[in-house]
Amino acid sequence: MKLSFPESILYEDDNFLIINKPPHLSTLDDRATGGKTSVLQLTRAYNPEIQIGHRLDKETSGVLAIAKNGEAYRHLSMAFEHRKVEKIYHAFVQGIQDYDNVKIEKPIAQLSTGGVKIDKENGKPATTIFTTLKAYKKNTLIECKPVTGRMHQIRIHLAIMGSPIINDEMYGGKPLFLSEIKKKFYLKQETDEQPLINRVALHAQALVFPLMNDEMIRVEAPYPKDIKALHAQLEKNM
C-alpha cells in the first residue's frame, strides 16, 4: 500500500521512513482530538508495524523519524537515549536577537493546562543551544538545537530569553502583520488584516541520526508554504 502523502517523504529504506510533517497534524493518536487523524494513523495504514521515533508538536512542521519495524525502533530509541541524534529547528522570533551558541539549561515541568513552566525544584533537566542565523527589521531567525527532548522545550527557553516565537501566544509570542514591517502598506476598507502566519513559527529543519549500520545520515526538510511565505516577507522587507 502506498503512503497517502508521498510528497512528504524525505528518506526511506527498509528500516526507516523520514517525513516532512505538515503543520496542524498530530504525531500520535492521543493528540488527535475531535476525530482528526494523526501521523501514526496515516503511516500505519501504509505499514502496520510502524512506530514513531519522536514527537513534534501539532503546529510544528518538519523532519519526523519513523521506524518501520521493532528492531529499527529500538535502534532509534537507543540513539536518542545516548544522544547520538541531533535535531535542528528554525524558529522565527520576536525582536532583534544576537545568539552565538548560547546554551540555556533550565528545568521544565508540565502543567495541567497543557503547557510547561520553568521549575528549578520539580522540573526535568532541559538544555537547548541557540544561534542567530539572520536578523530582520523586527524579527530574527534562530537555529535551535535541543540537547534534551522536553515538551515545548524550545518554545519556553526562547520565551524566558525574551525572544518568544512569532504567534506562540502560550509563551508570550504575538502575531506578525505585514503592516508592521512593510513601509508602504495599504489595506482595503472593511478588511481585517491577517497575520503572516497562523501558527507557531517553528520548523524542524534537519535530523542527524545513525542508520542500522551506524552510518550517520542528515535529512533536511524544506519549509512548508506558510513558513516559506513568512520567510519571503521578512527577506523582502528588511
| Alpha carbon separation from 93 to 23, 123, 140 (Å, rounded) | 18, 25, 5
102, 63, 100: which is closest to 208 by C-alpha?
63
How deeply is 101 buried, as exposed, middle or buried, from its count of CB atoms within 10 A (0-12, 13-18, 19+)? exposed
Residue with cell 545520515: 217
- The three three-digit cell numbers of residue 125, written as one number: 533537566
Active site residue 57: yes
Residue with cell 517525513: 19
**Distance spanning both ends of the chain, measured CA to CA:** 47
Residue length, the chain?
238
| Alpha carbon separation from 130 to 14, 55, 62, 97, 191 (Å, rounded) | 34, 20, 18, 10, 38
Q: Any alpha helices (H) in the chain, and if so which ranges?
A: 39-44, 70-81, 153-160, 178-181, 225-236
Q: b or e along 107-124 (b: 16 or more beta carbons within 10 Å of the residue's beta carbon)?
A: bbbbeeeeebbeeeeebe
Instruction: Point out the catalytic residue in the list 29, 57, 100, 226.
Output: 57
Catalytic sites, residue numbers = 57
